[in-house]
Amino acid sequence: MVPLLVSVIGGYLLGSVPVAVLVARAYGFDPREVGDRNPGFWNVRERLGWRAAVPVFAGDMLKGTLAGLLALLVSGTHIAWPGGVNGDSTVPVYLAVAAAMAGHAWPVFAGFRGGRSILTFAGGFAVICPPGFLLGVAALIVVALVTRSFAIGARVGVFGLPLLQLLFAPVGYVAGTGLLMCLIGLRFGQAARSSRPS
Protein backbone atom coordinates (compact mmCIF):
# COMPACT_ATOMS: atom_id res chain seq x y z
CA MET A 1 0.00 0.00 0.00
CA VAL A 2 2.82 2.44 0.77
CA PRO A 3 4.23 2.44 -2.80
CA LEU A 4 0.72 3.00 -4.16
CA LEU A 5 0.01 5.89 -1.79
CA VAL A 6 3.36 7.54 -2.46
CA SER A 7 2.87 7.09 -6.19
CA VAL A 8 -0.63 8.58 -6.25
CA ILE A 9 -0.03 11.45 -3.82
CA GLY A 10 3.40 12.28 -5.25
CA GLY A 11 2.10 12.05 -8.81
CA TYR A 12 -0.83 14.33 -8.10
CA LEU A 13 1.30 16.97 -6.38
CA LEU A 14 3.85 16.91 -9.20
CA GLY A 15 1.08 17.23 -11.76
CA SER A 16 -0.46 20.13 -9.85
CA VAL A 17 2.53 22.41 -10.43
CA PRO A 18 0.97 24.99 -12.82
CA VAL A 19 3.92 25.47 -15.17
CA ALA A 20 2.00 27.37 -17.88
CA VAL A 21 0.40 29.69 -15.33
CA LEU A 22 3.75 30.46 -13.72
CA VAL A 23 5.45 31.14 -17.05
CA ALA A 24 2.58 33.25 -18.37
CA ARG A 25 2.38 35.32 -15.19
CA ALA A 26 6.00 36.29 -15.70
CA TYR A 27 4.76 37.91 -18.92
CA GLY A 28 1.78 39.54 -17.26
CA PHE A 29 -1.20 37.36 -18.11
CA ASP A 30 -3.11 34.25 -17.03
CA PRO A 31 -3.51 31.64 -19.81
CA ARG A 32 -6.79 30.54 -18.22
CA GLU A 33 -8.29 33.91 -19.16
CA VAL A 34 -7.11 34.30 -22.77
CA GLY A 35 -7.18 32.34 -26.03
CA ASP A 36 -8.72 28.91 -25.59
CA ARG A 37 -8.31 29.31 -21.80
CA ASN A 38 -6.23 26.15 -21.61
CA PRO A 39 -3.23 26.55 -19.28
CA GLY A 40 -0.86 24.55 -21.42
CA PHE A 41 1.84 24.71 -24.06
CA TRP A 42 -0.34 25.50 -27.10
CA ASN A 43 -2.10 28.46 -25.54
CA VAL A 44 1.15 29.95 -24.21
CA ARG A 45 2.82 29.43 -27.61
CA GLU A 46 -0.03 31.26 -29.34
CA ARG A 47 0.36 34.21 -26.98
CA LEU A 48 4.15 34.37 -26.58
CA GLY A 49 5.79 32.30 -29.32
CA TRP A 50 7.96 29.20 -29.25
CA ARG A 51 10.85 30.46 -27.16
CA ALA A 52 8.72 31.45 -24.18
CA ALA A 53 6.60 28.29 -24.48
CA VAL A 54 9.50 25.82 -24.42
CA PRO A 55 9.68 25.81 -20.58
CA VAL A 56 5.97 24.95 -20.51
CA PHE A 57 6.48 22.08 -22.97
CA ALA A 58 9.41 20.72 -20.96
CA GLY A 59 7.80 21.32 -17.56
CA ASP A 60 4.50 19.67 -18.40
CA MET A 61 6.28 16.60 -19.80
CA LEU A 62 8.65 16.46 -16.85
CA LYS A 63 5.72 16.24 -14.43
CA GLY A 64 4.64 12.93 -15.94
CA THR A 65 8.20 11.63 -16.17
CA LEU A 66 9.04 12.48 -12.56
CA ALA A 67 5.78 10.92 -11.35
CA GLY A 68 6.58 7.71 -13.22
CA LEU A 69 10.17 7.64 -11.94
CA LEU A 70 8.99 8.24 -8.37
CA ALA A 71 6.64 5.26 -8.60
CA LEU A 72 9.34 3.15 -10.20
CA LEU A 73 11.71 3.99 -7.36
CA VAL A 74 9.31 3.27 -4.47
CA SER A 75 8.04 0.04 -6.06
CA GLY A 76 11.44 -1.59 -6.53
CA THR A 77 12.29 -0.53 -10.10
CA HIS A 78 10.95 -3.51 -12.01
CA ILE A 79 11.76 -3.08 -15.71
CA ALA A 80 11.74 -5.59 -18.57
CA TRP A 81 13.75 -4.54 -21.60
CA PRO A 82 12.62 -3.54 -24.14
CA GLY A 83 9.01 -3.43 -22.93
CA GLY A 84 9.55 -0.98 -20.09
CA VAL A 85 7.86 -1.04 -16.70
CA ASN A 86 7.06 -4.53 -15.45
CA GLY A 87 6.04 -6.65 -12.47
CA ASP A 88 5.38 -4.96 -9.13
CA SER A 89 6.17 -1.54 -10.60
CA THR A 90 3.43 -1.66 -13.23
CA VAL A 91 0.42 -0.59 -11.18
CA PRO A 92 2.26 2.09 -9.16
CA VAL A 93 3.73 3.66 -12.30
CA TYR A 94 0.41 3.71 -14.15
CA LEU A 95 -1.33 5.15 -11.10
CA ALA A 96 1.37 7.78 -10.63
CA VAL A 97 1.06 8.91 -14.26
CA ALA A 98 -2.72 8.96 -13.97
CA ALA A 99 -2.44 11.02 -10.78
CA ALA A 100 -0.01 13.45 -12.45
CA MET A 101 -2.45 13.84 -15.33
CA ALA A 102 -5.27 14.46 -12.86
CA GLY A 103 -3.08 16.98 -11.05
CA HIS A 104 -2.41 18.78 -14.32
CA ALA A 105 -6.13 18.77 -15.15
CA TRP A 106 -7.33 19.76 -11.68
CA PRO A 107 -4.29 21.30 -9.93
CA VAL A 108 -4.55 21.91 -6.21
CA PHE A 109 -2.01 24.74 -6.55
CA ALA A 110 -4.03 26.61 -9.20
CA GLY A 111 -7.64 26.56 -8.10
CA PHE A 112 -8.34 23.19 -9.78
CA ARG A 113 -8.35 24.90 -13.20
CA GLY A 114 -5.87 23.00 -15.33
CA GLY A 115 -5.07 21.76 -18.80
CA ARG A 116 -5.70 18.70 -20.91
CA SER A 117 -2.77 16.57 -19.69
CA ILE A 118 -1.40 15.57 -23.11
CA LEU A 119 2.24 16.43 -22.42
CA THR A 120 2.05 15.05 -18.89
CA PHE A 121 0.78 11.79 -20.36
CA ALA A 122 3.60 11.74 -22.92
CA GLY A 123 6.20 12.36 -20.23
CA GLY A 124 4.80 9.52 -18.13
CA PHE A 125 4.73 7.22 -21.13
CA ALA A 126 8.48 7.76 -21.48
CA VAL A 127 8.80 5.80 -18.22
CA ILE A 128 6.09 3.25 -19.03
CA CYS A 129 7.58 2.23 -22.40
CA PRO A 130 10.82 4.05 -23.35
CA PRO A 131 11.26 2.49 -26.83
CA GLY A 132 7.62 3.23 -27.70
CA PHE A 133 8.14 6.80 -26.58
CA LEU A 134 11.25 7.18 -28.76
CA LEU A 135 9.36 5.83 -31.77
CA GLY A 136 6.59 8.31 -31.01
CA VAL A 137 9.11 11.16 -31.02
CA ALA A 138 10.48 9.88 -34.35
CA ALA A 139 6.94 9.75 -35.79
CA LEU A 140 6.31 13.30 -34.58
CA ILE A 141 9.46 14.60 -36.27
CA VAL A 142 8.87 12.78 -39.57
CA VAL A 143 5.21 13.78 -39.85
CA ALA A 144 5.97 17.36 -38.83
CA LEU A 145 8.65 17.61 -41.52
CA VAL A 146 6.45 16.06 -44.21
CA THR A 147 3.35 18.10 -43.39
CA ARG A 148 5.26 21.19 -42.22
CA SER A 149 2.97 21.21 -39.20
CA PHE A 150 4.19 20.54 -35.67
CA ALA A 151 0.56 20.24 -34.54
CA ILE A 152 -0.16 17.35 -36.93
CA GLY A 153 3.12 15.66 -36.04
CA ALA A 154 2.36 15.97 -32.32
CA ARG A 155 -1.08 14.43 -32.75
CA VAL A 156 0.31 11.48 -34.71
CA GLY A 157 3.17 11.01 -32.26
CA VAL A 158 1.06 11.16 -29.09
CA PHE A 159 -2.04 9.32 -30.20
CA GLY A 160 0.02 6.64 -31.93
CA LEU A 161 1.77 5.68 -28.68
CA PRO A 162 -0.56 2.77 -27.79
CA LEU A 163 0.02 1.20 -31.22
CA LEU A 164 3.76 1.63 -30.84
CA GLN A 165 3.63 0.13 -27.36
CA LEU A 166 2.13 -3.05 -28.87
CA LEU A 167 5.54 -3.73 -30.42
CA PHE A 168 7.13 -4.05 -26.97
CA ALA A 169 4.53 -4.77 -24.28
CA PRO A 170 1.56 -7.09 -23.61
CA VAL A 171 -1.93 -6.05 -24.66
CA GLY A 172 -2.95 -5.54 -21.03
CA TYR A 173 -0.32 -2.83 -20.64
CA VAL A 174 -1.52 -1.16 -23.84
CA ALA A 175 -5.05 -1.21 -22.44
CA GLY A 176 -3.73 0.62 -19.38
CA THR A 177 -2.23 3.25 -21.65
CA GLY A 178 -5.59 3.54 -23.38
CA LEU A 179 -7.23 4.21 -20.03
CA LEU A 180 -4.75 7.01 -19.38
CA MET A 181 -5.67 8.53 -22.73
CA CYS A 182 -9.35 8.44 -21.77
CA LEU A 183 -8.55 11.23 -19.31
CA ILE A 184 -7.32 13.35 -22.21
CA GLY A 185 -10.59 12.65 -24.02
CA LEU A 186 -12.53 13.64 -20.91
CA ARG A 187 -10.69 16.95 -20.72
CA PHE A 188 -11.34 17.70 -24.39
CA GLY A 189 -15.01 16.90 -23.84
CA GLN A 190 -15.18 19.22 -20.85
CA ALA A 191 -13.48 22.00 -22.83
CA ALA A 192 -15.91 21.60 -25.73
CA ARG A 193 -18.88 21.64 -23.39
CA SER A 194 -17.73 24.75 -21.53
CA SER A 195 -17.16 26.62 -24.81
CA ARG A 196 -20.75 26.14 -25.98
CA PRO A 197 -22.99 29.18 -25.73
CA SER A 198 -25.47 28.86 -22.87
pLDDT for 139 equals 96
CA–CA separation, 111 and 125 (whole Å)? 26
Looking at the structure of the chain, the number of domains it has is 1
- Identify the CA nearest to 138 among candidates 160, 169, 170, 162: 160
Q: What is the largest CA-CA distance in the chain?
A: 52
In this prediction, residue 195 has a pLDDT band, given cuts at 50, 70 and 90, of low
Q: In this structure, are strands 84-85 and 79-80 parallel, antiparallel, or unpaired?
A: antiparallel
Q: Summarize the confidence of residues 167-191 as an average pLDDT.
A: 91
Task: Tell me how far the alpha carbon of residue 138 is from its chain's centroid.
Answer: 18
Average pLDDT of the residues in 41-48: 90
Burial class (CB in 10 A: 0-12, 13-18, 19+), 155: middle
pTM of the full predicted structure? 0.92
* 85, β-bridge pairs: 79
Q: Answer whether residue 65 shows pLDDT above 60.
A: yes
Query: What angle (nearest 5°) sits at the alpha carbon of residue 111, between those of residues 184 and 190?
Result: 30
- Domain that residue 157 falls in: 2-195
Q: Residue 60 and residue 121: Cα distance in Å, rounded? A: 9
Tell me the pLDDT tens digit for each residue of 94-119.
Answer: 999 999 999 999 999 998 999 899 99
Q: Find, among 13, 190, 1, the residue nearest to 110 by Cα.
A: 13
* Cis upstream peptide for 92 (omega within 30°): no
- What is the rounded average pLDDT of the residues 136-163? 94
